[in-house]
Amino acid sequence: MSRSAHPAGPRHADVLPEGHHAAPPADLNDLDPKVWSRTVSRNADGVLTVGGVDVARLAEEFGTPAYFLDEDDFRARVHAWRTAFGPDADVFYAGKAFLSRAVVRWLCEEGLNLDVCSAGELATALAAGMPPERIALHGNNKSDAEIERAVESGVGRIVLDSFQEIARVAHTARRLGRRQRVQIRVTVGVEAHTHEFIATAHEDQKFGLALAGSTSQPEAGGGPAAEAVRRVLALDSLELAGVHSHIGSQIFDTAGFEVAARRVVSLLAQVRDEHGVELPEVDLGGGLGIAYTSDDDPREPQEIAKALGEIVERECEAAGLSVPRISVEPGRAIVGPTTFTLYEVGTIKPLDGLRTYVSVDGGMSDNIRTALYDAEYSVVLASRASDAEPMLVRVVGKHCESGDIVVRDAFLPADLAPGDLIAVPATGAYCRSMASNYNHALRPPVVAVTGGAARVIVRRETEEDLLRLDVG
Ligand SMILES: Cc1ncc(COP(=O)(O)O)c(C=O)c1O
Ligand SMILES: N[C@@H](CCCC[NH3+])C(=O)O
């Protein structure tokens, strides 16, 4: 990897288009602790380091693009969620955000449970030794094979998503001579303030069973969810442990969770009235937001645990119910901030009066979130510090797609040059797990860094990997 000498960059007038209002940060070398994991800093030479290892060395050893995961930060976040919710609640890490065997082992060591939503995630969890009773299986279209594998291996809960699935899980459990613990996924009718594609509790979408009998009576409890409860309670091979609600993802305020908790508790009260049964569990899902840029203001686990605990307690008290065991399923909030993606800068193309396009050696194949959700990211020059003027940039990938954008709007120093390394923070969630081989890109490795040492936990794909699948 070249570390070229840096030619004088364009002048300020070239790099900040006239009339552009976004303000560059006071110091482009700053690392906002909101968006960077806890062991990230710059060394005396201004080079970004994580876990005591500098990015020049990391790039040399592991290449770019690559995801670098701050293991201490991951463990600290897991611990914070575990202690915030305490022994009377359960925290399930949502494996869809990022899953590997190392991650499963860390979760086991730190006492977390795991939410999986496919056979592949379940296989990874079991292969890495997660006790099956600590696994929950999700999915709106679980296959027979997935249901069978889950029941057979003894997962702690299957979250039922449709009437058809109730019958299918019951049938499989009966055939295998098991009594399967289940929850019912309820759609509570909350409009989460997030991107449409990642909001999951409004009525018109594919997940869950609606609580509402009609949209004008969201609290009525006379809808499909109540019917699902009736059906599950009538089946010997199913044990109804509780209800589940997940309102969406990248959510900052707890108001939506409060409404969800209230509606879920109203269903518990109805179940008690109708069936004389108090369901022991309520899962309020995941979805807690993280800081992708300095403008984002995420809540701490402690604050979330307190708010959710209080609302469930209050509602249960009002309904005369004993308080169920609460569980949550954070994915992004645990792994998102732990990781940054390191890229090498290639082509730099200033567009007069607009912005400068900075092309990197990855793109939408390692981070689809910008293209898919208009997600915002930040970026810094990582291989050196610079006191050059700020230049408005768009960081783009190398794919054949004009929407191949990694960071839509950001500032980098105007002396940026090909061969520099730049780092995009907060890429731990839904980047490697949603990575693709578009243009036959090789998916980047995930490298865990701690205590001055780095090790690959998911290796980089090779051309042989690509060709092995191509059997024609
Ligand atoms: C059922 C369920 N639980 C948990 C999560 C995790 O969400 P997040 O990573 O935003 O915490 C998701 C994804 O949105 C989900 O669908
Ligand atoms: N994949 C999405 C969130 C959906 C998570 C699963 N329901 C993201 O990157 O934000």
List of domains in the chain: 12-70+337-469 (2.40.37.10), 138-330 (3.20.20.10)
Residue type, 249: S
CA of 347 from ligand 1 middle (Å) equals 37
Q: Which of 329, 430, 431, 433 to mutate to test the pocket of ligand 1 (most atoms within 8 A of CB)?
A: 329
Give the closest ligand to the alpha carbon of residue 95: 1
Interstrand relation of 355-360 and 390-396 (parallel, antiparallel or unpaired): parallel
Element (H, E) at 407: strand 405-413
Handedness of CA 282, 246, 424, 435 (dihedral sign): positive
Ligand nearest to the CA of 427: 2
CA–CA distance, 309 with 115 (Å, rounded to integer): 21
Residues in the chain, total: 472
- For residue 190, the model assigns a pLDDT of 80
Q: Furthest-apart CA pair in the chain: how many Å?
A: 77
Shortest-distance Cα residue to atom 8 of ligand 2 = 430
> What is the pTM assigned to this prediction?
0.93
Ligand 2 centroid distance, CA of 331 (Å): 9
Residue of minimum CA distance from atom 14 in ligand 1: 249
Query: Is 400 noted as a catalytic residue in this protein?
Result: yes
According to DSSP, residue 337 is labeled G
Higher local confidence (pLDDT), 25 or 167: 167
Mean local confidence (pLDDT), 10-25: 62
As a whole number of angstroms, the distance between CA 436 and CA 440 comes to 8
Distance of CA 202 from the midpoint of ligand 2 (Å): 16
pLDDT tops 50 at residue 220: no
Per-residue model confidence as pLDDT tens digits over 383-426: 999 999 999 999 999 999 999 999 999 999 999 999 999 999 99
Q: Which ligand is nearest to the CA of 375?
A: 2
* 344: number of Cβ within 10 Å: 20
Buried b (16+ CB within 10 A) or exposed e, 376-414: bbbbbbbbbbbebbbbbbbbbbbbeeeebbbbbbbbbbb
Q: Alpha-carbon distance 397 to 406, whole Å?
A: 7
Q: Please choose from 332, 334, 366, 368 the residue to mutate so as to test ligand 2's pocket, defined by most ligand atoms within 8 A of CB.
A: 332
C-alpha 337: how far from its chain's center?
10
Give the residue with greater pLDDT, 194 vs 334: 334
How far apart are the C-alpha atoms of 409 and 393, rounded to whole Å?
A: 6
Q: How much is the pLDDT for 1?
A: 32
Among the atoms of ligand 1, which is closest to the Cα of residue 333? 11
Counting atoms of ligand 1 from 1, which one is nearest the CA of 289?
10
* 147, pLDDT greater than 70: yes
Q: From CA 266, how far away is CA 264, in angstroms rounded?
A: 5
pLDDT for 162-173, tens place per residue? Answer: 999 999 999 999
What DSSP string describes 245-259?
A: ---BSSB--SHHHHH
Average pLDDT over residues 254-268: 91
Q: Whose CA is nearest to atom 16 of ligand 1?
A: 246
| Best residue for ligand 2 mutational test, from 373, 374, 377, 406 (most atoms within 8 Å of Cβ) | 373
**Which ligand 1 atom is at minimum distance from the Cα of 250?**
10
pLDDT number for residue 6: 40
Q: In the structure encoding, which two tokens stand for residue 384, read together?
A: 């050196």
- Ligand 1 proximal residues by C-beta, below 6 Å: 94, 97, 115, 138, 200, 246, 249, 285-288, 329-333, 429
Query: Average pLDDT in the 442-471 region?
Result: 98
Side-chain-side CA neighbours of residue 132 (13 Å): 13
Q: Ligand 2 centre and the CA of 249: distance in Å?
A: 6
Ligand 1: distance of its center to the CA of 402 in Å?
29
Counting from 1 in the atom list of ligand 1, the atom nearest the Cα of 198 is 14
Q: What is the ipTM of this complex?
A: 0.98
Beta bridge partners of 148: none
- Residues touching ligand 2 (Cβ under 6 Å) are 96, 198, 249-250, 369, 373, 430
- pLDDT number for residue 189: 84
Ligand whose nearest atom lies closest to the CA of 301: 1
What is the Å distance from ligand 1's center to 464 Cα? 33
| CA–CA dist 140, 162 (Å, integer) | 7
Kindly report the protein residue whose alpha carbon is nearest to atom 9 of ligand 2.
Answer: 430
Decide: residue 434, CB within 10 A, 0-12 exposed, 13-18 middle, 19+ buried.
Answer: middle
What tens digit of pLDDT does each residue of 43-52 get? 999 999 999 9
